[in-house]
Chain A
Amino acid sequence: MSRPVAIRLAQLCKRYPGADGLAVDHLDLEIPTGEIVALVGPSGCGKTTTLKMINRLIEPTSGTIEIHGRPAGALPVHELRRGIGYVIQQTGLFPHKTVAGNIATVPRLLGWDKARTRERVEELVDLVGLERQMLDRYPSALSGGQQQRVGVARALAADPPILLMDEPYSAVDPIVRARLQDELLDLQRRVHKTIVLVTHDVDEAIKLGDRVVILNVGGRIEQAAPPAELLASPASPFVADFLGEERGLKRLALLRVRDITPGTGPVADVGDPADVARALMAEHRVDWFGVREHGRLLGWRWGSSLDGTVQAEGVQPFRAVVTPDSTLRSALDGIVGSLTNVAVVVDEDGAYRGMLRIDEISEGVRD
């Protein structure tokens, strides 16, 4: 089911004065409501120009931009921009305003009363994971990651349906960046904005984008597709090259354990006769078996230790335990280091769901 279009770019062109070629060349793009669309490409591909044409920080040379069905030029430019959240690389926080003052920027421009603004500011500080005691601090007292969170809170202040993000995480270190990316995904699950994100980091685009648009120098779209599709079938050598090494592993990072069906695994219950366990090992062609009690997998033991009935004592814990939410990449990571060559799947309550082997993961990726 396709969602309604939030932003439609049609035959959009930008030529900078004095430049030989076009920065953006007859770009057609539809951005569905409530999705994160990542524009990615090498420098000079026009990704930032395209983004800034949406809130008219840059005026197009030709072509049209529609936002929720209305031409972007229909409103006075400052009114258009107040309805579109904007997050930039160096945060662009106002150094002379406190955190609260920064977040309150657009509500103040819109003339909200003090009580409503204050309430909204506090709500946002909670939403982006900052502490309220930071409200009265100035940006210079915050870390890079905190500043970026304030930047996001400021962009969301008037609850705009659309958020534009221009390389939002390129100025923070990789650890903070990964955390901020996770926070954005978590935030998006709650706020459901239409987000257009520009990045030069293809892994960031793959991680964050519901759709990834790969642009080439001269402002042309090479491919626009959901990340898994992009990785599975790059449309051109340029795209394949841009996606980089280890496309298979990158796809595994996008697929979840729930996307594939785990096997049953050689699992016997405590108290089963030894023959049951032996039959399971023969069936699965392994020399170990899992031990289950009350629906939970306690661990595993070597077949050579069988004596009488299946006992709970002395089992070894499985190295790889994943949930349906885990990525196939983390499942694979667990498998390659384990003695049993499986990842155990348990649900959120810890109940046993099945086992994943490398063949099942390969099969899932092939589909």
Chain B
Amino acid sequence: MFANGPDSFIWWDWVDRNTDKIWARTIEHLQLTGSSVAIGFVIAMAMAMISLRWRRAYGPLAAVAGGLYSIPSLALFGFLVPITGLGFRTAQIALVSYTLLILLRNIVAGIDAVPASVIEAANGMGYEPWRRFIAVDLRLATPAIVGGLRVATVTVIGLVTVAALVGSGGYGTFIEDGLSRARGFSTPIVVGGALSIAMAVLFDAAFVLLQRAVTPWARRGAAGGAHP
């Protein structure tokens, strides 16, 4: 059995004594992830609308989102701190910028994939343009959009850990704490890392379920097989 003390891989007494802190960091982690993805989604949706309305705008918008995505996270935090200072806001700006490319691409690809015959039928049936966009285009793009949210969320959960460097809280705080202590005390690092991974896995699974729930027509059981 593992020994249980400050020198062991994980010291359960520390975990016991810090449940309040663990809970608080969990909330912070969730808040930062949730708000970043939500803001990113709103911005990406606006960018997608512009791209769909004016196709020529898609290239430049995707290039901007791609540029932001390619900046290493540490460098971006370092760049932002002198401007926006330490804290939640700085982390959020960086995290939002990482979600844009994934979300923009998925929204546009999802809407582009709606079959032309379906669009034409919807127009011919007498949908108003806005109503068709919501009830048909967006609805059929939902699986792709949820897929984008899934990748964005899992990515951001990992990045939030790094964002602790700018003092935004979350599980990264434990890791930082562990790294700054005297050598050999691995417990906070293990706890922070493990919880971050657990959260990512949990959300990944939740999105898979959500994706299935929003596409009942793609479920094999519901399809009932082919009827010649």
Chain A positions near chain B (C-beta within 8 angstroms): 55, 57, 77-83, 86, 88-98, 105-106, 109, 134, 137-143, 146, 151, 154, 164
CB pair A92–B126 under 8 Å, yes or no, is no
Min CB gap A176→B, angstroms: 10
Q: Mark B86-101, 1 if CB is under 8 A from A, else 0.
A: 0000000000000000
Judge whether B222 is part of the interface by a CB distance below 8 angstroms: yes
CB pair A109–B223 under 8 Å, yes or no, is no
CB pair A55–B124 under 8 Å, yes or no, is yes
Given A92-B117, A96-B140, A138-B217, the answer on whether A146 and B127 have CB atoms closer than 8 Å is: no
How far, in whole Å, are A95 and B142 apart by their CA atoms in the complex? 13
CB pair A88–B117 under 8 Å, yes or no, is yes
How far, in whole Å, are A47 and B136 apart by their CA atoms in the complex? 28
CB pair B124–A57 under 8 Å, yes or no, is yes
Given A82-B125, A140-B217, the answer on whether A92 and B118 have CB atoms closer than 8 Å is: yes
Residues of B within 8 A of A94 (CB): 118, 121-122, 136, 140
CB pair A96–B227 under 8 Å, yes or no, is no
Given A138-B222, A141-B223, the answer on whether A90 and B115 have CB atoms closer than 8 Å is: yes
Residues of B within 8 A of A164 (CB): 124
Judge whether B59 is part of the interface by a CB distance below 8 angstroms: no
CB pair A141–B226 under 8 Å, yes or no, is yes
Residues of A within 8 A of B225 (CB): 141
CB pair B227–A141 under 8 Å, yes or no, is yes
CB pair A140–B115 under 8 Å, yes or no, is no
CB nearest to B142 among chain A residues: A96
Picked from A82, A88, A95, the residue with its CB within 8 Å of the CB of B217 is A95
Min CB gap A163→B, angstroms: 11
How far, in whole Å, are A140 and B124 apart by their CA atoms in the complex? 21
Residues of A within 8 A of B139 (CB): 96
CB nearest to A90 among chain B residues: B117
CB pair B127–A143 under 8 Å, yes or no, is no
CB pair B126–A88 under 8 Å, yes or no, is no
Given A109-B126, A140-B223, the answer on whether A57 and B120 have CB atoms closer than 8 Å is: yes
CB pair A81–B126 under 8 Å, yes or no, is yes
CB pair B120–A88 under 8 Å, yes or no, is yes
Min CB gap A104→B, angstroms: 11
Q: Which of A55, A88, A93, A96 has the most CB of B within 10 A?
A: A96
Q: Mark B23-61, 1 if CB is under 8 A from A, else 0.
A: 000000000000000000000000000000000000000
Residues of A within 8 A of B136 (CB): 94
Q: Mark B133-153, 1 if CB is under 8 A from A, else 0.
A: 000100110000000000000
Residues of A within 8 A of B125 (CB): 81-82, 86, 105-106, 109, 154
- Would you list which residues of chain B between 138 and 173 have a CB under 8 Å from chain A? 139-140
CB pair A78–B122 under 8 Å, yes or no, is no
List 13 extra interface pairs beyond A95-B118, A141-B227, A154-B125, CB under 8 A: A57-B124, A81-B126, A83-B126, A86-B121, A86-B124, A88-B117, A88-B124, A95-B217, A96-B217, A137-B224, A138-B222, A141-B223, A141-B225
Given A137-B223, A137-B224, A142-B227, the answer on whether A89 and B128 have CB atoms closer than 8 Å is: no
Q: Which of A81, A82, A92, A141 has the most CB of B within 10 A?
A: A92
CB pair A143–B228 under 8 Å, yes or no, is yes
CB nearest to B123 among chain A residues: A57
CB pair B227–A146 under 8 Å, yes or no, is yes
Q: Which of B120, B126, B225 has the most CB of A within 10 A?
A: B126
Residues of A within 8 A of B227 (CB): 134, 141-143, 146
- Would you list which residues of chain B between 197 and 228 have a CB under 8 Å from chain A? 215-217, 222-228
CB nearest to A80 among chain B residues: B126
Q: Which 5 A-B pairs have the closest CB atoms?
A: A92-B121, A86-B124, A81-B126, A82-B126, A90-B117
How far, in whole Å, are A77 and B124 apart by their CA atoms in the complex? 10
CB nearest to A157 among chain B residues: B125
Min CB gap A117→B, angstroms: 14
Residues of A within 8 A of B223 (CB): 137-138, 140-141
Residues of A within 8 A of B226 (CB): 141-143
How far, in whole Å, are A314 and B200 apart by their CA atoms in the complex? 88
Picked from B120, B121, B126, the residue with its CB within 8 Å of the CB of A78 is B126
Residues of B within 8 A of A83 (CB): 126
How far, in whole Å, are A304 and B156 apart by their CA atoms in the complex? 100
Could you jot down 27 A-B contacts, CB within 8 Å? A57-B120, A81-B123, A82-B126, A86-B121, A86-B124, A88-B120, A88-B121, A88-B124, A90-B115, A92-B115, A92-B118, A92-B120, A93-B118, A94-B122, A94-B136, A95-B115, A96-B139, A96-B215, A105-B125, A106-B125, A109-B126, A137-B223, A138-B216, A138-B223, A139-B217, A154-B125, A164-B124
